[in-house]
Amino acid sequence: MKFSLAFVTIIISSIQLVAQETIPFRLTKHNNLIIQTLINEKDTLDLMFQISMNDAALSPNRIRHANSIQFENEISDNNSIQIGNLQWENIRFFDNEYSGHESDGKIGKVLFQNKIFGIDYDQNQFVIYNELPNLTDYQEIPLLTDGEFFLISADSIFDWQPTELYFLLQSGFSGAIMYSNEVAKTNQLNQVLTIYKEQEYSDSQGNKIISKQAILPYFHFANTVLKDVKVGFFKGEARVQTQNYFGADLMKRFNWIFDVKNEKAYIKPSKYLRDKYYENEQ
């Protein structure tokens, strides 16, 4: 079969219109997405992508220096970021915000500037789209936005009863699920789930904090059922966890496309769907 040059040109052009740019990332053993960046054309930093923030931040535990970022009251404006051939201007950095393992800081959704974007765990890349791509094999789910936060709904099976909850997408949390204090108390998770690990420690005020690691028999997200998911929660009120986290260990089990303007996300299972679960960290 022969194709004319004009036909081939049309096909290539249509592909370019949909998939505009890609940004490579490195997935660590802690499920963090690390992007190598050049800051202000001077400093090379490994920044963790944090889906629950818009701007950027440097960690007090960073290994690499970033002398080109000048802070005033722990805020620095008008910075540039370069990733490969892509460059962003007028980036705000906050100072002394903790980040994930193997990172010097974190970067949020400013990279996508209100465009449709995808997280492709199979190819280790972000994709920035001008319009929705081919969604074959993807499932549409509602996406709620609350300021910088993205929230999705899913069913947790507590004592054989499905409970629909909203979860904040939290790519900076290495584990699978963290339940809020309210959910833990209301659903008596300390009694209905199998606890496999308990840790007691004190905060800076000397209050004792008890963290629990447990096994959730079934977790129903969209049309996928996950079994024996490792989850975490806190006992008591000394540590206040106000949100349910849908963490990086769950996020990596799917490839994502986010259409924020229309409050929709699209997911399909990734190659990590049935991987062993990460042990939650506090």
For residue range 140-174, what is the model confidence (pLDDT) as tens digits?
999 999 999 999 999 999 999 999 999 999 999 99
Helix (H, G, I), strand (E, B) or coil at 248: helix
| Overall average pLDDT of the 57-72 stretch | 95
- Looking at the chain, the whole-number percentage of residues with pLDDT higher than 90 is 85
Class of the domain covering 139-269: mainly beta
Rounded to 5 degrees, φ, ψ at 192 are: -90, -15
Q: Is the pLDDT assigned to residue 9 strictly greater than 90?
A: no
Q: Is the pLDDT assigned to residue 14 strictly greater than 90?
A: no
Confidence of residue 236 (pLDDT cuts 50, 70, 90): confident
Rounded to 5 degrees, φ, ψ at 191 are: -100, -35
Confidence of residue 113 (pLDDT cuts 50, 70, 90): confident
- Strands of the sheet containing 254-259, edge to edge, are 19-24, 125-129, 116-120, 254-259, 264-269, 139-142
Domain boundaries, the chain: 18-129, 139-269
Of 61, 29, 30, which is closest to residue 45 (Cα–Cα)? 61
Confidence (pTM): 0.90
Domain covering 18-129: architecture: Beta Barrel (2.40)
Q: Is the pLDDT assigned to residue 179 strictly greater than 80?
A: yes
Strands 43-49 and 105-107: parallel
Reduced to 3 DSSP states, what percent helix, strand and coil does the chain have, rounded to the nearest 5?
A: 10, 50, 40
- Looking at residue 12, its pLDDT comes to 43
Q: Is the pLDDT assigned to residue 123 strictly greater than 50?
A: yes
Confidence of residue 1 (pLDDT cuts 50, 70, 90): very low
How far apart, in whole angstroms, are the C-alpha atoms of residue 268 and residue 254? 5
CA angle, corner 82, sides to 81 and 88, nearest 5? 55
Average pLDDT, the chain: 92
Which of 16-20, 97-101, 201-205 shows the lowest per-residue confidence on average (mean pLDDT)? 16-20
Confidence of residue 235 (pLDDT cuts 50, 70, 90): confident
Q: For tokens 């079934």, name the residue.
A: 218
Q: Do domains 18-129 and 139-269 have the same CATH topology?
A: yes
How far apart, in whole angstroms, are the C-alpha atoms of residue 71 and residue 73? 6
Q: Is the pLDDT assigned to residue 280 strictly greater than 80?
A: no
Confidence of residue 8 (pLDDT cuts 50, 70, 90): very low
